[in-house]
Amino acid sequence: MMNRNSVCARKKQSRSLVIVGLFMVLSLVSCTTSATMPPIELTVTPAVTPTPLAIGLDTERTLQLFNWQAPEMLNPHLAVGLKDWEASRLVYEPLATFDKDGNLIPFLAAEIPSLENGGVAEDGRSVTWKLKQGVQWADGVDFTAEDVRFTYEFITNPDVDASSASVYSIVDAVTVIDDYTVKVHFNQFNPAWQIPFVGTQGMILPEHLFSAYNGKDARTAPANLIAIGTGPYMVTDFRNREVLFLGDQLVQTNRIVYEANPHFREAEKPYFTRVELSGGGTAQEAARAVLAEGSVDYAWNLQLDTEALAAFEHADAGTLLITFGPQVERILLNRSDPTMGPSSERSSIAYPHRFFSDRRVRQAFAHAIDRERLVADFYGITAQPTTNVLVSPAIYYSPDTAKLYPFDLEKATALLDEAGWIDTNGDGIRDKDGVDLSILFQTTLSPVRQAVQNAIRHDLESIGFDVRLKVIDSSIFFGDDSSHPDHYRRFRADIQMYSDANLLPDPGSYLQWWTCGEIPQRENGWSGFNAERWCDPPYDFLYEQSTTELDPQRRQELFIAMNDRMIRDVTLVPIAQRALTSGVSHTIEGIDLTPWDSDVWNIKDWRRVQP
């Protein structure tokens, strides 16, 4: 098994791992309260700086990307997962984004608003953005403030059902001052004015290509796939390829071709004239392609276990980039019963879960999860155990939940006994009132997740649970169709496991996910992010307070209290703070990862080099 000491020893080798720990340091931080597992901070840079190559063969000007979780939607506001934001970020840009140090840097904005330059209103109810002039969409149409206004109207149109709508719930209106000035009005004082139109959920859409699809037909817009933006690339081909089978599920792979934006505003950029993205497959296949074979230049989100990492330790073609940020692998506990009601309404809040409605059963489940062993055995250097769902920026990491539910099978057994779940017929499965303590455990296809599933099943079965495992391809689980029975929002299982995170340093919009109004149900088209179906009015009250709190210290306390309320009630069980592990060819330089945006946020600066 690899550990951090062995990695540090190996960094002197010519083909060492490059570990980039990107933790946010905000100006409001003086020091972080200690906790059992505080977020780690690592930075190791390459020993030798590569030398850029002169422009040469066509192959040197083509960048090959591999996303084993195949992108399906290149409209970032209809996307439902990182795989789609990653693919759309080559094309679309926000007004600004956060770099790895937490600094706001402009993209389509001419400058960052502030109190000093008059951009941020003193009453906290509006922010004015000045836009860059001379920017064009890749089809030659001028970019103006009208595109920003339209993007807001598109996102907030309920018929569109935009996945980013919750980020804009505090926005009351967006008004155009002139062609290059736009004012964002908030419906109340907003201490997080820098969230709308920033980062992956702030990408601006071209009005002239989407205005005819601002409604129920939003998902039929041709530009959802053949994307035209202000970024360095535009999509020229989006094509489904061969069909793979995962058990009884049919899964398609795809290929996306990007060409350089002929109207991109920065001279001599991007370096690559063409980008080809291969979507679909397995993390192992992607890792082999970039690290061992050198057939691709960059492979995103390599979810590899410690054994697989060791197999690529001495690979000659590429290097691992391990980026620690806000991602948390977690197990969600369904508060609704997926076995009750009509098939079209399974996991309805009308049917409380048959045993997870009992807090003692949830607590027993939490005590049966051995985080330390799971991380040591299956994640290795790419994760660390955590008991919190909010882990980054470090100022929001709660010290109060670390000892709540340590791994303790004896305690778990006692809680189940207390709750009346005992094995009455000697079959090894606890039961109560004729109901077995049986759970369906679902997650996405990934070697690491399947190994973790089996380890958790072993411990749960040792205390009387019956556990059935289900594996779903990520293109379905996180797919465009939230009504699909295997979509994570439908949650037609008892527990499910995946990784998620706050996408911006301010976690307000992330923590909104667990408010009562975010519960996906048939009547709202299975929209909303509260897949657990957890409704807690005191939590909602804390969230509402956070949206108007001016004092940074008090706001920090509110966010921590919200995290703690979820953990204490066992709404979900965090397992590990996961790094986003990607693979890069030794011939590529210019990558500057940040936990607050896509890996390709600065792809205009990527170049091919001599290793």
Q: Which of 193, 213, 233 is the last residue of a domain?
A: 213
Would the pLDDT of 284 be above 70?
yes
Tokens matching residue 405: 């539910």
Q: Which of 453, 308, 434, 292 is nearest to 369 (CA)?
A: 453
Considering the domain architecture, whether residues 133 and 236 belong to the same structural domain is answered as no
DSSP state of 365: H
Q: Which of 598, 588, 592 is nearest to 272 (CA)?
A: 588
At residue 331, the pLDDT reads 98
**Top-confidence residue, 301 or 21:** 301
Question: Among 204-208, 309-313, 315-319, which is the least confidently predicted range?
Answer: 309-313
Query: What CATH number should be reported for the domain holding residue 21?
Result: 3.40.190.10
Residue type, 132: K
Q: Which of 213, 246, 272 is the last residue of a domain?
A: 213
pLDDT tens digit sequence for 404-415 = 999 999 999 999
Residue numbers of the domain that contains 246: 4-91+219-324+580-610
Considering the domain architecture, whether residues 418 and 551 belong to the same structural domain is answered as yes
For β-strands 435-436 and 383-385, DSSP reports them as unpaired
Query: What CATH number should be reported for the domain holding residue 459?
Result: 3.10.105.10
- Give the long-range contacts of residues 291-295, CB within 8 A, separation 24 or more: 291/315, 291/317, 291/318, 291/319, 291/320, 291/583, 292/316, 292/317, 292/318, 293/317, 294/318, 294/585, 295/64
Considering the domain architecture, whether residues 409 and 489 belong to the same structural domain is answered as yes
Tokens matching residue 186: 């908030």
Considering the domain architecture, whether residues 164 and 147 belong to the same structural domain is answered as yes
Average pLDDT over residues 293-302: 95
Considering the domain architecture, whether residues 107 and 40 belong to the same structural domain is answered as no
Would the pLDDT of 598 be above 90?
yes
Considering the domain architecture, whether residues 470 and 550 belong to the same structural domain is answered as yes
Considering the domain architecture, whether residues 234 and 152 belong to the same structural domain is answered as no
Residue type, 499: S
Number of Cβ within a 10 Å radius of residue 206: 21
What percent helix, strand, coil does the chain show, rounded to 5?
A: 25, 25, 50
The domain total for the chain is: 3
Helix (H, G, I), strand (E, B) or coil at 415: helix
Question: Among 87-91, 252-256, 354-358, 455-459, which is the least confidently predicted range?
Answer: 252-256
DSSP state of 308: H
At residue 244, the pLDDT reads 60
Query: Which residues sit opposite 579 in a β-bridge?
Result: 324
pLDDT tens digit sequence for 200-230 = 999 999 999 999 999 999 999 999 999 999 9
In angstroms, rounded to a whole number, what is the distance separating the alpha carbons of residues 494 and 541? 28
Close Cβ partners of 400 (under 8 Å, ≥ 6 residues apart): 560, 564
Considering the domain architecture, whether residues 104 and 239 belong to the same structural domain is answered as no
Considering the domain architecture, whether residues 484 and 427 belong to the same structural domain is answered as yes
Contact 334, 494 (CB under 8 A): yes
Q: Which of 185, 213, 241 is the last residue of a domain?
A: 213
Read off the pLDDT band of 248 (50, 70, 90).
Answer: low
Considering the domain architecture, whether residues 477 and 574 belong to the same structural domain is answered as yes
Considering the domain architecture, whether residues 555 and 590 belong to the same structural domain is answered as no
Considering the domain architecture, whether residues 239 and 384 belong to the same structural domain is answered as no
Question: Among 291-305, 308-322, 453-467, 551-565, which is the least confidently predicted range?
Answer: 308-322
Q: Which of 568, 545, 580, 146 is nearest to 382 (CA)?
A: 580
Contact 429, 436 (CB under 8 A): yes
Identify the H or E element spanning 92.
Answer: none
Query: What CATH number should be reported for the domain holding residue 176?
Result: 3.90.76.10
Close Cβ partners of 80 (under 8 Å, ≥ 6 residues apart): 73, 163, 478, 479, 480, 482
Q: Which of 99, 108, 127 is nearest to 194 (CA)?
A: 127
Read off the pLDDT band of 57 (50, 70, 90).
Answer: very low
Read off the pLDDT band of 17 (50, 70, 90).
Answer: very low
In angstroms, rounded to a whole number, what is the distance separating the alpha carbons of residues 520 and 495? 16
